[in-house]
Amino acid sequence: MSDQVRVAVLSGFGINCESETMAVFEMAGASADRVHVNRLVNGEMSLDDYHIMAVPGGFSFGDHLGSGRLMGNRLRFGLREQVRRFVQASKPVIGICNGFQVLVKMGLLPGDNEVSLTQTASLALNDSGHYENRWATLEFDQRSPCIWTKGLTRMRVPVRHGEGKFVTADRALLDDWAESGQLVVRYVDPTTDYPSASDEVLPYPISPNQSWRNIAGVCDPSGLVFGLMPHPEANHSTWLGATWTRDVEQGEHGEGEGMVIFRNAVEYARANL
């Protein structure tokens, strides 16, 4: 058990969301450091000193050659053993938006028990063909082993991406991942009752990118590595909601819906690491 949970929030090369990602971990009771990827490569800092790793959103390398691709390669080739050691030590990892794209492209998600870093899925261009910022409603699979999403049913969060359509070359894999609870979080029609996540692709803009099976995020078989396209860190306080001026009463302001995810991981790390 660790007194102070330390979070490495990666930065550099067009990662943009490190400030708010650090902030939400701090709000959840951890201490967070901004860690430039090159400081891990040159040995000035080490992932071994941290309990949680976060790959924040942004536009690493301008999304050229496919979002997350070049940053994924920097990690896959430049930090391969450090990253594998971190995951094999059962330490939580989260990738948000561009960070999720990085984890998928480097093969850490949906991943495998061996942490082989083999890419099996991808995030394609939204069917709309362009970037969009809009709010979506997510539904979580409570059967999932994901430690980040314990107790969550639904959440309202912004999506902000152009390449968020989760696909795979082998559709049979989707059944395997569904079975193992790795399809943790999906876009859902907010007017329906929980649970109602469906495999049928929901209409735009309920599913903003036309992701297969409405997948918004997945975890690895262990449930420790988690990634999602939407931005829970952008809903850390009630006054950041899309319709808070309609649905939050004066005097009822406080923590936003997205904070549960970060609290879960910090509590997990405190209890287990």
- Which residues are catalytic, by number? 97, 231, 233
By C-beta, is 38 or 142 nearer to another protein?
38
Question: Which residues are within 8 A (CB) of 174 and not within 5 positions of it... i.e. 6 or more apart?
Answer: 168, 183, 212, 213
Residue 184 dihedral angles phi and psi, to the nearest 5° = -65, -40
Q: Which stretch binds another protein (CB under 8 A): 1-9, 73-81, 176-184, 214-222?
A: 73-81
Least Å distance, CB 157 to another protein, is 10
- Which of 144, 149, 237, 264 is close enough to bind another protein by CB under 8 A? 237
At residue 69, the 3 state secondary structure works out as: helix
Q: Dump strand ranges (E) for the chain.
A: 6-11, 31-36, 52-55, 93-96, 121-124, 132-140, 154-161, 165-168, 185-187, 215-219, 225-228
By C-beta, is 57 or 91 nearer to another protein?
57
At residue 218, the 3 state secondary structure works out as: strand
Least Å distance, CB 112 to another protein, is 15
By C-beta, is 201 or 225 nearer to another protein?
201
Q: CA 215, CA 270: separation in Å to the nearest integer?
A: 29
- Which of 13, 46, 84, 192 is close enough to bind another protein by CB under 8 A? 13
N- to C-terminal Cα separation, the chain = 5
263 near another protein, judged by CB under 8 A: no
Q: CA 225, CA 149: separation in Å to the nearest integer?
A: 11
192 near another protein, judged by CB under 8 A: no
Number of residues that bind another protein (CB under 8 A): 72
219 near another protein, judged by CB under 8 A: no
Q: Which of residues 82-141 bind another protein (CB under 8 A)?
A: 105, 119-122, 124-135
Least Å distance, CB 64 to another protein, is 4
- Which of 6, 33, 39, 45 is close enough to bind another protein by CB under 8 A? 39
Q: Residue 243 CA to chain centroid, in angstroms?
A: 23
By C-beta, is 91 or 156 nearer to another protein?
156
**Six token digits for residue 93:** 């990892």
State the angle between helix axes of 259-272 and 18-27 in degrees (0 to 180), rounded to the nearest 10: 60
- Which of 51, 150, 160, 263 is close enough to bind another protein by CB under 8 A? 160
